[in-house]
Amino acid sequence: MNSYSVKQKSITHYAWLSIAAAILTIALKLLAYLLTDSVGLLSDALESLINLAGAIMALAMLSIAIRPADADHAFGHTKAEYFSSGVEGILILVAAIFIGIASISRFLNPKPLDKVGIGLAVSVVASLINLGTSIVLKKAGKRFRSIALEADAKHLMTDVWTSAGVIIGVALVVLTGWLRLDAIVAFLVACNIVWTGFTIIQKSVSGLMDKVLTKEELKIIDSILEPYRETGIQFHAILTRQAGARQFVSFHVLVPGAWTVMQGHQLLEQIESDLRNVLPDIVVSTHLEPLEDPTSYDDISLDRK
């Protein structure tokens, strides 16, 4: 197994952490709901169920993403991560619908809350677990360039803010005696979840559509090529795309026609090595062309940098 596969395999450990945290927070939040009969806390518990489903989906897709390239998947399986984040986004929207329905029902038929103190204390503990897990997953997502872990971290952080809102709302119900406030908070939670689900789905679709690398990454590539340009070497038809944790770039390299095959080959090897030194997960494809041949410039319009 190569170093990339080993690194990717370690990502699944974080998915297991997310699953364990989801199970624990579900138990705590359901306990908080049963103690208080708060629809706001129920909405919080329902979102944690979605966290668990999303974490399980992330584990499944990450297990596929680490598979090496094969005859049927020459560029690997890294795009499987986009399915994970996409499904999690959809599940978030489904949860929002159920929470919205429950909040409207409770608004029309308000009920007094019970054992609020201990219920809120349990909910706070669950939120702290989610906060810690979200921070760990966010760092891991950036480190491994994993959209699945980033989506999971974003969802958990949304859950933390949701829980904070619910806790404040339930506390205000006790202080003001306005029972419908619990339902209003739950409805606001649903609206917030809808936005989170939409942004996650949007990012997943963008990845499946082979979006180009970020502006920062394109600047890095350009900085690597610039010293070669100063020696008279030219580049065009620069195409990039992101596929899960992997980056892909291809371009044409124009050199003097009098160069030997060995000279051209050594140049390409050096350029590719320079790029991999700064972007370790990048897959580089190059094509050698002579500077003096007019046909070498026919495909210059392919440059999408």
Indicate the range of 149-163, 170-184, 291-305 predicted with least confidence.
291-305
> pLDDT higher for 151 or 107?
107
Q: Is the whole-model pTM more than 0.75? A: no
- Specify the pLDDT at position 260: 95
Quote the pLDDT of residue 2.
47
Which regions of the chain carry the CATH code 1.20.1510.10? 3-208
The mean pLDDT value for 88-100 works out to: 78
User: Start-end ranges of CATH 3.30.70.1350 in the chain?
Assistant: 215-302
Contact 187, 106 (CB under 8 A): no
Please report the pLDDT score of residue 303 as a whole number: 56
How much is the pLDDT for 194?
83
With CA atoms as reference, report the closest residue to 255 among 288, 224, 227: 288
Q: Which residues of 80-104 are buried (b: 16+ CB within 10 A; e: fewer)?
A: bbbbbbbbbbbbbbebbebbbebbe
> Does the pLDDT value for residue 47 go beyond 80?
no
Is residue 4 pLDDT above 60, yes or no? no
Asked if pLDDT for residue 99 goes beyond 90, the answer is: no
CATH number of 215-302: 3.30.70.1350
> What is the pLDDT of the chain when averaged over all its residues?
82
Q: DSSP 3-state assignment of 290?
A: strand
CATH class of 3-208: mainly alpha
